[in-house]
Amino acid sequence: MYFLKIHETPKGSVIAACDRDLLGSRFSEGEKVLDIDEDFYGGNESDMDEIVSSLQGCLTANIVGEGIVSELIERDIVEKENVSEVNGVPMVQLFYI
């Protein structure tokens, strides 16, 4: 299971999703900081199908965690070369234009 939160803006939806065990964590590596804040990421517990569905038509998405990023790669939604890491934690940002 994962956490999914959908933020509605006048220009479209912003999706925040993370592995369940990362919610509330903070990682840093040099000048890079990854704050998996409960206010931003802490929505509803969701399965992968619900997360994939939420990505359709969204403006942007912030996705963090080994499990969720791996599943998105397996489903050909994310390309491995577009994944970043902060202190070993994978993350990806998607922008739809």
Predicted model pTM: 0.93
> 10 Å Cβ neighbour count for 75?
11
For 17, the domain range is 2-95
Tally of domains within the chain: 1
pLDDT beyond 90 at 35: yes
Structure confidence by residue, pLDDT tens digits, 10-28: 999 999 999 999 999 999 9
**Interatomic CA distance for residues 43 and 76, integer angstroms:** 25
Q: Residue 49 maps to which CATH number?
A: 3.30.1860.10
pLDDT beyond 80 at 77: yes
**Interatomic CA distance for residues 45 and 43, integer angstroms:** 7
What's the chain's average pLDDT?
96
pLDDT beyond 90 at 3: yes
